[in-house]
Structure 1
Amino acid sequence: MGILEALRAASTADPQFQQLRDNIRSDPLAYSQYEFHNGLLLLRNRIMVPAETALRSLLLQEFHNSVVGGHAGVTRTFHRLAANFYWSGMRKDVRRFVADCQVCQRMKSDSLTPAGLLQPLPIPAQVFEDISLDFIVGLPKSNGKEAILVVVDRLTKYGHFFSLPRHFDSAAVAHILVHGVIKLHGIPRSIVSDRDRLFLSELWTELARLQGTELCFSSAYHPQSDGQTEALNRCLEMYLRCMTGDDPSKWEQYLAWAEYWYNTSFQSSAGMTPFRALYGRDPPTILTYLEGSSRNTQLAQQLLERDELLRVLKTNLQRAQQRMKLQADKHRRELILSEGSWAFVRLQPYRQVSLRLQKHQKLGPRYFGPYRVLQRIGPVAYKLDLPASTRIHPVFHISQLKPCHGQPQQQITPLPLLREDVTSPSTTVDLEDKVHLPGRGTVMDGPFVSAPKNVTADDSNATTSPGNEEPRRSSREKRAPKNLTNFVRF
């Protein structure tokens, strides 16, 4: 039975339509906007749909899910449907149907302000008690180094910069921390870092456990939790870019001066330079020697001034945090998910390493899931019930989640598949943000889901998955002419 035949049958059987038909016959002038045509009741030339749930749902599916409807939004779907049909509360039903559409929830990007109000990290009590660290990678080779480890004290903003080779592991980073940070400032109470595979390795975790250090990882795919180090990275890159000029391969010899420049530069949030915040004085300069002068008698006064400086520093940081939170929350919205509810997750790979080329990302889904919310961790972080084969951290910032409306489908959108042979966290890793292949553009990957154990690097079917049907071909390594080594990057 077609939809028009179903409408005729439902109109004949509906008691309200029968009463309306009798009123039209008894007083045509009062009901001049209504008319009967071929067994259908029309209102201003639009077919009236009786209170039949199946018929209204069928029309909503036809005008929204079909190739003509195109999964449009509420306004477009309503106007397309209202051009030929009418029932009381149509716009409300369209709004509910579009909101519950699983395809729209997975495939469409949000146009709303980011979810989750700003949650500043607590201000540390002592210097170098809480530190944050990150890596700057993808730099041109300079004295055999291609990366920089950035370590920042969260209280004084004092920073240390260390050059690293391109390939390094957690043991090398731990060695640098011991000889470059811990020996000077002691063992930190907590470390804020992004969720790089380097910090998830067993060696680094064991080192932190032996030291009694609590690893405060930021939420998965939300690097803004480590925004302090990210901002410092931009300043450091700017300094090296300006100092090296046309010879970027000499950046390593400017790294020590970059550290001095940063630590002696005024910080608006602290209200002073990191050097003064740490040592209680400005950096020494070349002064004229005065015979007989001594500062030993002023030691007590210096200690009092040091305590007062720390108090002023914490006050300035609190004011800066309040000011930043006030401005940031103007462009954010509060969103709370209840435990046991369902939510879609948005994956934006950050600091992830592999060589898998995900094809057709332009038309790929914007969200995956939905997955059940297991626990609320903090004001803006949630733990999801991800599949057992998932290799990403199950805790996400609220801005990466979208509540699922309607009844979740039984078939959950799987996470992207990743080969097992390129994601072992216990081996030496290459912390490249992006991999550039000639003629293939930029490859962005993330260790999402492990592949079956029987998949090997020599398996010709290892890369076959939705959107990755063609195996990657090997190609020769292209090298730039020696006279252009500092200017050409492949």
Structure 2
Amino acid sequence: MSRKLNKAEKNYVIAEKELLAIRDAFKEWRHHLLGAKYTVTVYTDHRNLQFMSSARLLTPRQLRWMLFFAEFDFVVTFQPGKDNRKADALSHQESTTLPAVQTSRAIIAPDKVLCIIKTEDFFEDIRNSFTVEKWQAWAQADPKRSIKQGLPFYDARLFVPTTKLRKIVFHWLHVIPTAGHPGAPKTLELIQRYFWWPTLTKDVKTMVNNCEVCARTKTSHSKPKGLLHSLPTPSRPWEHISLDFITGLPVVQQHSVILVVVDSLTKYGHFIACKKLPTSSELATILLNRVVRYHGLPKVILSDRGSQFAYNFWKTWCKTLQVTSTLSTSHHPQTDGQTERLNQTLKQYLRAYAEKTLNSWTSMLWLAELAYNNSFHTSTGVTPFFGLFGYHPDTLHITIPQESSLTPAVSEIIQHLHQTQKSIQQHLEKAKQKYKKHYDKKHCEGPQYQPGDKVWLSTKHIDFKTKHMFNPKFIGPYTVLQQINPVTYKLQFPKSLRIHPVFHTSLLKKAVQKVRPHPAPVLVQGEEEYEVKKVLDSKLRGRNLWYLIPWKGYGPESNSWLSASDVHAPVLVRRFHPLNPDKPGPRARLGEGSTVNTRTVRALRASRMQKPNTRKIK
């Protein structure tokens, strides 16, 4: 490359003119020089440029250019002009004129060249798949078949005879960027424009289902999987209870949390104010004092997967009292729908009296409990209070005249209470059937997975280390270890994925392809190392630089933060920083024997290089 100097550049000193040539060359070939595998060597016949990067006094222009050069890994080497004649010839004016260049129309259009380069070997493989005699016999068997230029055609479409060649066709019309990973119908239409083979429709559907990129990145548009499976109806009150917490409330009298306890049969609830989220031991004490002392020990306690219910103390406490602790499925609130619904009712009550209860909600909690327990419940057909005690509480202090009647015997009261609770059980069964019918209309029955099957896991509720719209929709595939119930499964996770391994079937998708094993580590100087795919992010921990690394052959769930000293991928590191100038980076070399911190470079760029004060020299 070469160009003329403009009026301002003609006034540059010699050193700056020589440096200008290097700067323009780096601008012209920037896409080649950034992230180069080896250090770039610049040959110049101006010896002083070797020491430009280490000079103590630089003009503002030279300093700006040094900031530009900081993006590149290069060294400047002196070479006399007589030994560098090719570059030196560009600076001499040519007196002769070149003849006019005559252009001719290309025989092959440029947009067809790439296709021809790719398909020439493909056509040759088709020709070699059969002998000429077999091809002729093949063509005579059907009038739609023909042989053109030694290639078999069916109904004017190229016949693809082998599985290997069919996979190449699928790659061309499904995988490459111009195809865009379409679904099976669109991929089939693309292939049918040019190619044919007997099992085309079946093969395309299978290959699309086996496409790992499609499995990871595409959103499912079918109905949510998994029909409703209700919990069994208890045989007596307070045999089965559920727990949940309401947090984020204003601190009143040092209380900021409400513990909600609900009986699964009568729907009777207790609202208990807590100073904070209780620990396992504190929760056990609260239940003994506020629930067990009035209703006895439950057989089953249903809760979410809070930390209180995962500690050994809670498990030991339940085991000692012969209480079964059941945890709801991760990210599936339908498991404990009654408590979730009651939480909404309680929040609505407190919100309705917000002006009065904002600073005194703890004193209003017993009123909220009474109001809820005295309200008609559609699933039981009675109020929770009546379902538990057999009568309605007096809340109005109004005496209504009634006909006199004899006081019922104790046996009649007990019989009436038993009949009420039996009626509640019947209402609950009818309500569950009604809810199931309504729920199942919007859901479809999920596939049944067996231990050992491979499944993809939805990332809907997974917190990635880097959040952006290009995160995959599914990760995996993972092995199914156990079927907990008809719609819940336990998966086998790597140690790096620290989440609970039990999931509802709506978050799973069958992995139909033969899963490729993860690449094994390679030995480098006696140590096992895994191949780095690229660099995603960087950050500083103290004075140390760390990189977020995805591993080749592994999913995004295996991404790891590693110290820069442990990342042996200099090419990928050099490629990352020019594309992410706002991220922390290492010390970048300007030239031989000199370094500059890239963060300092960015700070100087941000300040737009304010011109320093200068003094006149007489």
Return the offset for 1:209. 2.1
Is structure 2 residue 370 aligned with structure 1 residue 252? no
Retained in 2: the 8 A contact 1:63–1:80? yes
User: Max radius of gyration: which structure?
Assistant: 2
Question: For residues 127 and 197 of structure 2, what CA distance do their matches in structure 1 show?
Answer: 12
Return the offset for 1:74. 0.9
Retained in 1: the 8 A contact 2:309–2:315? yes
Deviations 1:432-474 (A, max 9, x none): xxxxxxxxxxxxxxxxxxxxxxxxx979678946589779xxx
Is structure 2 residue 449 aligned with structure 1 residue 337? yes
Which of 177, 180, 183 is residue 70 of structure 1 equivalent to? 180
Which of 91, 94, 99 is residue 209 of structure 2 equivalent to? 99
Question: For residues 356 and 120 of structure 2, what CA distance do their matches in structure 1 show?
Answer: 74
Question: For residues 462 and 258 of structure 1, what CA distance do their matches in structure 2 show?
Answer: 52
2:222 maps to: 112
What SS class does the counterpart of residue 479 from structure 2 fall into? strand
Retained in 2: the 8 A contact 1:133–1:151? yes
Is structure 2 residue 332 aligned with structure 1 residue 222? yes
Question: For residues 296 and 132 of structure 1, what CA distance do their matches in structure 2 show?
Answer: 37
Is structure 2 residue 130 aligned with structure 1 residue 14? yes
Which of 188, 193, 202 is residue 312 of structure 2 equivalent to? 202
Retained in 2: the 8 A contact 1:11–1:17? no
Q: Which residue type is aligned with residue 287 of structure 2?
A: L
Q: Which residue type is aligned with residue 341 of structure 1?
A: D
TM-score (norm 1): 0.76
* Map 1:19-58 → 2, pairs under 5 A: 19-21=137-139, 31=144, 36-50=147-161, 52-58=162-168
Question: For residues 463 and 167 of structure 1, what CA distance do their matches in structure 2 show?
Answer: 36
Return the offset for 1:129. 0.9
Return the offset for 1:332. 2.1
Is structure 2 residue 474 aligned with structure 1 residue 367? yes
Retained in 1: the 8 A contact 2:136–2:147? no
Identity %: 34
Which of 435, 450, 470 is residue 324 of structure 1 equivalent to? 435
1:144 maps to: 254
Question: For residues 232 and 247 of structure 1, what CA distance do their matches in structure 2 show?
Answer: 19
Is structure 2 residue 488 aligned with structure 1 residue 402? no
What SS class does the counterpart of residue 469 from structure 2 fall into? helix
Retained in 1: the 8 A contact 2:126–2:151? no
Which of 102, 110, 119 is residue 3 of structure 1 equivalent to? 119
1:446 maps to: none
* Map 1:258-269 → 2, pairs under 5 A: 258-269=368-379
Distance of aligned partners of 1:150 and 1:64 in 2 relative to their CA distance in 1, 3 Å threshold = same
2:345 maps to: 235
Question: For residues 344 and 357 of structure 1, what CA distance do their matches in structure 2 show?
Answer: 16
Retained in 2: the 8 A contact 1:221–1:347? no
2:500 maps to: 393
How many residues are treated as equivalent by the alignment? 412
Question: For residues 448 and 201 of structure 2, what CA distance do their matches in structure 1 show?
Answer: 27
Question: For residues 315 and 306 of structure 1, what CA distance do their matches in structure 2 show?
Answer: 14
Runs of 5+ unmatched residues, structure 2: 1-116, 520-540, 551-558, 562-582, 585-618
Runs of 5+ unmatched residues, structure 1: 25-29, 351-355, 413-456, 472-490
Deviations 1:340-359 (A, max 9, x none): 21112225449xxxxx8732
2:409 maps to: 298
Distance of aligned partners of 1:460 and 1:265 in 2 relative to their CA distance in 1, 3 Å threshold = farther
Retained in 2: the 8 A contact 1:47–1:86? yes
Return the offset for 1:181. 1.1
Deviations 1:109-158 (A, max 9, x none): 22222222211100011111110111122233333332221111000001
2:387 maps to: 277
Question: For residues 158 and 339 of structure 2, what CA distance do their matches in structure 1 show?
Answer: 62
Question: For residues 248 and 62 of structure 1, what CA distance do their matches in structure 2 show?
Answer: 64
Question: For residues 246 and 545 of structure 2, what CA distance do their matches in structure 1 show?
Answer: 35
Q: Which stretch of structure 1 is more off in the superposition, 380-389 or 93-102?
A: 380-389
What SS class does the counterpart of residue 191 from structure 1 fall into? strand
Distance of aligned partners of 1:153 and 1:116 in 2 relative to their CA distance in 1, 3 Å threshold = same
Question: For residues 461 and 267 of structure 1, what CA distance do their matches in structure 2 show?
Answer: 60
TM-score (norm 2): 0.61
* Map 1:148-163 → 2, pairs under 5 A: 148-163=258-273
Return the offset for 1:386. 2.2
Distance of aligned partners of 1:23 and 1:216 in 2 relative to their CA distance in 1, 3 Å threshold = closer
Distance of aligned partners of 1:42 and 1:217 in 2 relative to their CA distance in 1, 3 Å threshold = same
Question: For residues 213 and 366 of structure 1, what CA distance do their matches in structure 2 show?
Answer: 39
2:425 maps to: 314
Return the offset for 1:336. 0.7
Distance of aligned partners of 1:39 and 1:289 in 2 relative to their CA distance in 1, 3 Å threshold = closer
Retained in 2: the 8 A contact 1:243–1:254? no
What SS class does the counterpart of residue 171 from structure 1 fall into? helix
Deviations 1:364-409 (A, max 9, x none): 1222221222222222222222234554333222222211101012
Return the offset for 1:45. 4.4
What SS class does the counterpart of residue 340 from structure 2 fall into? helix
Question: For residues 127 and 460 of structure 1, what CA distance do their matches in structure 2 show?
Answer: 60
Return the offset for 1:23. 6.6
Retained in 1: the 8 A contact 2:135–2:147? no
Q: Which residue type is aligned with residue 10 of structure 1?
A: I
Deviations 1:245-302 (A, max 9, x none): 5974543333222211111111110011111111111112425599xx9986532221
Distance of aligned partners of 1:185 and 1:91 in 2 relative to their CA distance in 1, 3 Å threshold = same
What SS class does the counterpart of residue 216 from structure 1 fall into? strand
Return the offset for 1:312. 0.6
Q: Which residue type is aligned with residue 513 of structure 2?
A: G
Q: Which residue type is aligned with residue 451 of structure 2?
A: E
1:380 maps to: 487
Retained in 2: the 8 A contact 1:8–1:39? no
Distance of aligned partners of 1:91 and 1:118 in 2 relative to their CA distance in 1, 3 Å threshold = same
* Map 1:462-477 → 2, pairs under 5 A: 464=548
